[in-house]
Structure 1
Amino acid sequence: MSTISTAQLKAIAKERALDRYGTLIFANILIFIIQVLISGITTVASYGNILIFIINQFINLIVSILLGILASGKAYLYMNLVYSQTISASDIFFGLKQQPQKAVVIQSVFVIANYLVTLPSSLILFYADQTSSIDLYLTNIIILIAGIVINIFIYLMYSQAFFLLHDFPDRSALELLKTSRRLMQGRKGKLFLLQLSFVPLYIFGIITLFVPLLWISVYRYASVAVFYQNLISEAANVSSSKEEQNGLN
């Protein structure tokens, strides 16, 4: 079990990001612009037709999976940050060179899981809008909350896969996912609390005209990257300790 506190993780992230916020914020803005442009180009206008709704859902599913390449690049950027390497906004495109097919497979786990748990809610909301049924709206809220809980659990379980991809590029996507699941055993709560600790900052960012959100987003993801660095370091120490014990026996 990790002995480093949430406050310590955030302090390390803040120290590593010092004097680099400009590059990191610019990289985040680039990712956001790319995502918006791609989503805008690929989305089919909806006119209340169920067929158009299904087409939109399918296109969004494919696009979201392909955006895993950007998620991989973002992980690479922040790993360079926490490992005190030179960083550049162009690092977000590293996923195009570093096993993009594995990034797509990893991303597909998150996207398909999210699609499956939110599809019932989306369908109910679609019909609720058509019928203006209060009962359907209430049912949708319950199903939506259940979907959020499931999504959080899946995210926590496989949250380290993109980082692992860059540390262990020779492993298959399935091996990386399994490794993340193993590493996160007993540590999901810690990562959840780390993410939860940023909620007050996000609320502050919203009520101050959203500008601080650029800094908060960098700070949060840097903290997650430090969490990974600490996690993989502890795993290596445990492995070395076991090898030493085996050598003595």
Structure 2
Amino acid sequence: MILYPAIDLKDGACVRLVRGEMSHATVFNTDPGEQAARFQGQGFQWLHLVDLNGAFAGRPVNAEAVDRILASVTIPVQLGGGIRDLKTIGMWIEKGVRRVILGTIALRDPELVKQACKAFPGRVAVGIDAREGYVAVAGWAETSNIKALDLALKFEDSGVAAIIYTDINRDGAMGGVNVEATADLAFHLTTPVIASGGVSSMDDLVALKKEEDSGIEGVICGRALYDGRIEPAEALALLGAPAPGEVG
């Protein structure tokens, strides 16, 4: 199981929000490139980036910060936030982003996601952010009447690399990951699922690891890594990730 450290970008800095509220942002590092390099040095095999301003604006906003991150690491990066057309997808992939994450547009224009999967095989993931089981979009500012599973099922056999499932009520709140909902979603899909939102301790990682066979292939962790609740080497060893210097 892959552990993805999260770098959420707001106004060029690495922050963490509580339940997606932009007004409740804690700045953890003002140098995104340095933070990315630190995560790589700790042995992580991937990075998860979110352009928070972009998610609200509907277009890339923190491009300069993303560029600095891409220049600072050699490990693959996945990026979401404000990516809503094929041109933007192509731009990020050309810049070196390994995988783009489509969220709002996945709800509003599922056909575009399918087109993107054909144009960029293996490079497109879908981010499904749920509040009480229903999909939220536009930086979580709007909640739809579509259930997370119903949206995910639209992309079965479309070539989506992964579904990134976030429980908004858990995100940044350190209340524990919603293992049951994540495992239930993964069980009903053939597309791999990456868990996100609420990971606060090693116990959460243990619980997710137990559900790996349901189709959970990764987990995103933010605040717990920044504040030291989860120690990178211990977490990577638990999830079976290779140590620094090993081939994964």
Q: TM-score, normalising length from structure 1? A: 0.25
Higher helix share: 1
TM-score normalised over the length of structure 2: 0.25
The structure having more radius of gyration, on CA atoms, is: 1
**Which structure has more strand as a fraction of its residues?**
2
